[in-house]
Copies of this chain bind each other. A is one copy, B any other.
Amino acid sequence: MSRDKKVLIYEAALSLVYENNDLSAIKVADIARRANIGKGTVYEYFHSKEQVIGEALIYRIQQGLQRFARLLDEGLSFKETYLAFLRHYKAMISKNRHIYNLMTMNPAHVAVHAAVHAVIYPRLRQLKDQYFQLMERLVARSVEEGIIKPDPDRFDWQTAVLSSITGIFLHQQFPADFPHLGDEEVLEKAYSVYVKLLS
């Protein structure tokens, strides 16, 4: 019961995260209203607003990891898997714009409220490791299929994956700059970035 209610609150908080683009603009009252519960009830399950949002973000990341793990188990080819992975990223990015926009222009932009960060940080490191472990399985598959050279450097393949994602971001953020490029073409390009960097 307690588990369900927590998830209900997570989903409410996340839907607001997607809409607001600024974590500190999210109010406890909003979360409660979105979840159709009383404001006080939120505090039956969490100590603070920051804990709600922080845990909600972690919850979403974990979902992404599970989905990624399931995708890896489907036995698809590397390319199919990689494209599915990128498509998922694309979908997530589209829920919350502005991110890339500001980031590339000036690194002096900001990610999360310090208090939320304090909640997330201890578990984020571990989630990141899980994430890259899954990614490593995917990379291994591309080696097995002979698509890239064997035994790529850890830094190189991580850069390669992030570069693929970067292309996706770029297209998503400034579609008007690339009228000649359709969604599928961008995915192909992103795939080819990976291949080029690791061949």
- A interface residues (Cβ-Cβ under 8 A, vs B): 14, 17-18, 20-25, 57, 60-61, 64, 89, 92-93, 95-96, 98-114, 117, 120, 124, 127-128, 131, 154-156, 158-159, 162-163, 165-167, 169-171, 174, 177-178, 181, 186, 189, 193, 196-197
Contacts and interface: CB of A to CB of B under 8 A. Distances in A.
Copies of the polypeptide in the assembly: 4
Nearest to A106: B61
A114 B163 contact: no
Contacts of A197: 163, 193, 196-197
B124 A96 contact: no
Chain A facing B: main interface SS? helix
B111 A24 contact: no
Given A109-B99, A156-B189, A170 B162 contact: yes
Nearest to A19: B114
